[in-house]
Amino acid sequence: MQAAVLEKAPPNRPTVVLRSVPRSSPQLSRATLACSNCGMRSQCVPSGMRNEDMSEIDQMVTSRRRIRRGEHVYRAGDPFIGIFAFRTGFFKSYAESEDGRTHVTSFEMAGDISGFDGIEDGHYTQNVIALEDGEACTITFAQVDSVSTRVPGLQHYLFRVMSREIVREQGLMMLLGTMRAEARVAHFILDLARRFAARGYSSTEFNLRMTREEIGSYLGLKLETISRLFSRFQDEGLIEVQGRAIKLVDLPALHELAGEHA
């Protein structure tokens, strides 16, 4: 399944070969679960994490779970059990309001972590659903408690990951609050490119895993606006789009539009 997904998305073939992983066996060995053996480690763990601390982090990951396209990792209102670190696949998080509005708050890929919204009152407030088959490592908070009292480095790790999430959301708030549609879309494309690059995929040619509507929801725009801007960017020679396949052509111009450095 994982391989099939990659085949359907030729431009996203990894340029770095990642360790292949056994499929959802009911009981995985501690070594197999270990973060220190995980190809996605560099994504999960903030830079600067010491190697000595990795074995401590390994102790938290208790299980791995296979999630199919369309299946929820968790839903708003579910009791909080812990956080999820994605190993493969592609996911979206979204919130729903009382009156039925919906808003995509993030797209998760390998190495990203979800679930911090559930800590405060013991229930998740968001929904996370797979856009593509994948696997999630489960880190239950019961584990966190027992391990982290013995291990000071561990809480540091979690503080940093949560801090990163807070900063990420602040960036999105600025995008939603101050940027025009074309800047939002340019920013979105470049952000995806960076994230693919960080995982060893091409940063200039990749496949979108989400619909125009989901992009629009994420960026506070309508799907028609996304479609129109993709077309316009293509006319202007910034990108090439065909369906969900995107190729970045004029990176400086995209950065310019997104309001980044130069």
The residue ranges that bind DNA (CB under 7 A) are: 180-182, 208, 211-213, 216, 220-228, 230-231, 241-244
19 lines the binding site for its own copies (CB under 8 A): no
CA–CA separation, 111 and 85 (whole Å): 6
CA–CA separation, 83 and 127 (whole Å): 13
- The interface partner of residue 223, options being its own copies, DNA, none and the CB cut-off 5 to 8 Å by kind, is DNA
- Residue in 24, 25, 32, 155 binding its own copies, rule: CB under 8 A: 155
User: What are the structure tokens assigned to 188, written together?
Assistant: 């979105």
User: Which residue's CB is nearer to its own copies, number 4 or number 262?
Assistant: 262
167 lines the binding site for its own copies (CB under 8 A): yes
For residues 41-71, one letter each, b for 16 or more C-beta atoms within 10 angstroms of the residue's C-beta and e for the rest, the string is bebbbeeebeeebbebbbbbbeebebbebee
- The interface partner of residue 237, options being its own copies, DNA, none and the CB cut-off 5 to 8 Å by kind, is none
User: Which residue's CB is nearer to its own copies, number 22 or number 177?
Assistant: 177
- Binding mask 101-120 vs its own copies (x if CB under 8 A, - otherwise)? xxx-x----------xxxxx
- Binding mask 43-82 vs its own copies (x if CB under 8 A, - otherwise)? ---x------------------------------------
CA–CA separation, 42 and 31 (whole Å): 18
Contact between 11 and 205 (Cβ < 8 Å): yes
CA–CA separation, 39 and 20 (whole Å): 9
- The interface partner of residue 244, options being DNA, its own copies, none and the CB cut-off 5 to 8 Å by kind, is DNA
User: Which residue's CB is nearer to DNA, number 140 or number 211?
Assistant: 211
- Residue in 25, 32, 55, 178 binding its own copies, rule: CB under 8 A: 178
CA–CA separation, 43 and 30 (whole Å): 20
Helix intervals (H) in the chain: 2-8, 30-33, 41-44, 54-58, 141-150, 152-178, 181-198, 212-219, 223-235, 251-258
Where does this chain bind its own copies (CB under 8 A)? 46, 95, 97-99, 101-103, 105, 116-120, 125-126, 145, 148-149, 152, 155-156, 158-160, 162-167, 169-174, 176-179, 217-220, 259-261
